[in-house]
Structure 1
Amino acid sequence: MAGRGRACGSRGVGLWRPLVFPVLLLVLLVGCGGRPATDSARADVQRVLDRRAAAVLAHDEDAYAATGDRTGYTRLRAVPLAAWSYRVTAVHRSGDTATADAELSYRIEGYDRAPVTAGRTVRLIRAADGRWTVTSERPAMKAGGQLWDRGTVAVVRGAHSLVLGVGHSGARLRTFADLADRAVPAVSEAWGTDWARHVVLLVPESLDGMAAMLGSPASSYRGIAAVTTGETGGAARTPADRVVVNPDAYGMLGPVGQQVVLTHETTHVATRAHTNAATPLWLSEGYADWVGYRGTGRTPKQAAPELEHAVVQGQVPAELPTDGDFGFAGDANRLARAYEGGWLACRMIAERWGEERLEAFYRAVGEHGKRDGAVEGAMESVLGTTEADFTAEWRQYLHDQLG
């Protein structure tokens, strides 16, 4: 789910990235007394991290410093936390140094109904008196980073939003809060109010910062204005999604484009619990674009220039966009046509069957739970049509709107 980098558009990428980290099986080395040799070190490290977590929640910098390096506390002390804890999964010890694999679990107060988890690698050293202290903490291998890994976090609160940023002024972060505060009511008007109705925005210092947080190369997100992270098909305990902004690409958009991007991404937050493996990307991204453009007055020719070019050239797509058409690594024009095609499919449903039917169609697809038969069944039960007839009508709609 990403915001398109072209000036008056937004796009979602259908990437739902829960932070993934390996759960390593601890091989217990049994000493002559019959007890695992690593038990003591692991328990000691767990106690150090427990004290560290308690210091974070108590806003006790001295107590945090007593456990080792205080950089992390300084960087995240402005973040409103409701919970913060570590679970050590393995300890790799070499003499008086050790590396611990740990699961960080935290909740932002007022926003997360369940913990966000992240894999972390913690390095420690043991003093002469036997006490372990932390020398560094970083993202685990193949795990995305946290915003505070990039620097000291600044916080701006909006009426419906919380903006966390690194390397930006308070005034700059306020602009994101204002955009999000307009996006949330717009999404509720289209989708309904059965969602959290607030959003968390993360604004790293640069494209490189965004990529590091998402655990991918920067080239994957060049020109992408924003990405929404979270788990699909979330139940009531799913944590709040995070909208991660690429400040480089976002700054190139005009006012309308910036608002469309934030509304698009906020739509993904609202629809998350009803989006799962059954939902094709043309629907999830097309619906987010439909909500994003709703009320802007943008015409199909203004908002779908790549698809217009194809239609004018007599190259009307033969079928609805496939999930493969939404890949970042492929042809950028093909990618743009996929988002535009999904948007126009949802726009057609809203015009032909009505906005309430569009919402019902989206929910019905997700209720199916698996891809096979989901779209076909929802088209029959909600729209009273077949996939073949819908596709034919969509192709004619493209010709009428763009030809």
Structure 2
Amino acid sequence: MTPFRTALRLSALLLCALLVACGGPAGAGSGSGDAGVREAVAAWSRTPPARLAGLPLEGWAYEVGSVRLDGVRAHVRAELRYRLAGYDGAPAGSARAVELTREGAAWKVTSDGPAPGAPAQLWDQGEVAVVRGAASLVLGVAQSPATLAEVGREADRAVPAVSAAWPRAWARRVVVLVPGSLDAMAALLGKPAATYRGLGAVTTGSTGGGPAPADRIVINPEGYAQLGAAGKDVVLTHEATHVATRAATTAGTPQWLSEGFADWVAYRDGPLTPAEAAPTLARAVRAGGPPGALPADAAFAFGGDQEATARAYEGAWLACRLIADRWGAAALVRLYEQAGREPLPAALESVLGTDRQELTRAWQEALRHELG
């Protein structure tokens, strides 16, 4: 799911000093004014919070952007950069608001939290528990060890399933965040909780080429708990697929192809028939026939008509299933790659030798046959 959507490297803990715009050594913060504040932040930021002691951190650094002095108080806007060693191919970023107070001639950091309007980080919500799997790193707050271990097992099963379907280079590891509640999940993503109600998980991360971004699969603990074992497997495999295909996904990739491909990977080795896995669309097809067109990007938006969204996802999955069945799984992978590089009509012609109209007709016929 979009943001339903990692890379690797293992090294020792490496804590970087603050990148100070004014230069100079990072001392104990005994200076005055702007420079003294920056020195104090630099000295303080050499060590991550104790609640992160179990994380494989590297490159931890606060870069001060602005300083506002208010008597004995200082308000700093900074950008935190860090990597999870062995998992992040590019740094994760977080806009932070750091507060300091003057004690005599020295400045002392008194608080650190998300900058106004910026999403929270998991450690802002409490002590972070860590579970390391064969192909996963699960980070949780206010969750039982059993829950985090279960998520780790599901993620470890998902990664090889994704690699079998997406035979391209990717990290083959995932980072999964398990916050304590739906509201806590929404705080991590910077959107209202209603946006994610009923969802099992989403994936964060930017699309396009270049260094692999720091993707995170974020679990909705309330929605995830309602799923059976098969449903949890589908959710984690779907999200891990978004992680794997991130570098090939661009703004030009149609949502039906991105989401349909992720579901095709998640369902392809499962026992469910199309009618069982696409019940909402099946009811619509039986009542009035197949949709007139492949799902538009807007149909996948969160927080709207849940039945319409379900029909979009189910229709997208069956479109990708049709392509894999008729042209082959390798052709579906190539189409995904090409659709991120050139307009869809050109990708359909070059990879499948067809056009959108013919593909739509074939998809409609498949829906009548399998769901009608």
TM-score higher than 0.5 here? Answer: yes
Question: 1:279-358 counterparts in 2 under 5 A?
Answer: 279-358=253-332
**Cα distance, 1:224 vs. partner?**
1.1
Whether the 8 Å CA contact 2:44–2:109 is kept in 1: the answer is no
Which consecutive residues of structure 1, in runs of 5 or more, have no partner in the other structure?
1-11, 17-38, 57-72, 369-373
Of stretches 112-121 and 182-191 in structure 1, the one that deviates more from structure 2 is: 112-121
Is the partner of 1:114 in helix, strand or coil? coil
Deviations 1:361-389 (A, max 9, x none): 10111122xxxxx1111110000101111
**Cα distance, 1:47 vs. partner?**
1.9
Q: Taking every aligned residue pair, what percent have the same amino acid on both sides?
A: 52
**Cα distance, 1:97 vs. partner?**
0.6
Whether the 8 Å CA contact 2:129–2:139 is kept in 1: the answer is yes
Measured in 2, the distance between the counterparts of 1:15 and 1:177 equals: 18
Whether the 8 Å CA contact 1:97–1:125 is kept in 2: the answer is yes
Whether the 8 Å CA contact 2:4–2:217 is kept in 1: the answer is no
Question: 1:361-372 counterparts in 2 under 5 A?
Answer: 361-368=335-342
Given the alignment of the two structures, is residue 187 of structure 1 paired with residue 187 of structure 2, yes or no?
no
CA 14–115 in structure 1, closer or farther in 2 if over 3 Å, else same = closer
Structure 2 residue aligned with 1:54 = 46
Structure 1 residue aligned with 2:245 = 271
Deviations 1:344-367 (A, max 9, x none): 000000101111101011011112
CA RMSD, Structure 1 to Structure 2 (Å)? 1.4
Amino acid paired to 1:260: V
**Cα distance, 1:329 vs. partner?**
2.9
**Cα distance, 1:107 vs. partner?**
0.6
Find 2:102's aligned residue among 126, 137, 160. Answer: 126
**Cα distance, 1:14 vs. partner?**
4.3
Is the partner of 1:92 in helix, strand or coil? strand
Amino acid paired to 2:354: T
Given the alignment of the two structures, is residue 111 of structure 1 paired with residue 69 of structure 2, yes or no?
no
Measured in 2, the distance between the counterparts of 1:336 and 1:396 equals: 20
Whether the 8 Å CA contact 1:229–1:241 is kept in 2: the answer is yes
Give the count of matched residue pairs: 347
**Cα distance, 1:48 vs. partner?**
1.9
Amino acid paired to 1:336: A
Given the alignment of the two structures, is residue 156 of structure 1 paired with residue 131 of structure 2, yes or no?
yes
Measured in 2, the distance between the counterparts of 1:149 and 1:195 equals: 30
Structure 1 residue aligned with 2:13 = none
Find 2:172's aligned residue among 162, 187, 197. Answer: 197
Is the partner of 2:46 in helix, strand or coil? helix
Whether the 8 Å CA contact 1:14–1:284 is kept in 2: the answer is no
Measured in 2, the distance between the counterparts of 1:53 and 1:157 equals: 26
Measured in 1, the distance between the counterparts of 2:308 and 2:289 equals: 12
Measured in 2, the distance between the counterparts of 1:47 and 1:179 equals: 45
**Cα distance, 1:263 vs. partner?**
0.3
Which consecutive residues of structure 2, in runs of 5 or more, have no partner in the other structure?
6-30
Question: 1:355-394 counterparts in 2 under 5 A?
Answer: 355-368=329-342, 374-394=343-363
Measured in 2, the distance between the counterparts of 1:220 and 1:119 equals: 22
**Cα distance, 1:193 vs. partner?**
4.3
Is the partner of 2:45 in helix, strand or coil? helix
Amino acid paired to 2:260: G
CA 265–14 in structure 1, closer or farther in 2 if over 3 Å, else same = same
CA 377–40 in structure 1, closer or farther in 2 if over 3 Å, else same = farther
- Poorly superposed stretches of 4+, deviation over 4 Å: none
For normalisation by structure 1, the TM-score amounts to: 0.84
Measured in 1, the distance between the counterparts of 2:127 and 2:115 equals: 20
Deviations 1:308-356 (A, max 9, x none): 0110002421000001111123211100000001000000001011111
Deviations 1:235-254 (A, max 9, x none): 2x233310010111100000
Given the alignment of the two structures, is residue 44 of structure 1 paired with residue 44 of structure 2, yes or no?
no
CA 108–165 in structure 1, closer or farther in 2 if over 3 Å, else same = same
Amino acid paired to 1:397: A
CA 14–81 in structure 1, closer or farther in 2 if over 3 Å, else same = closer
Whether the 8 Å CA contact 2:37–2:74 is kept in 1: the answer is no
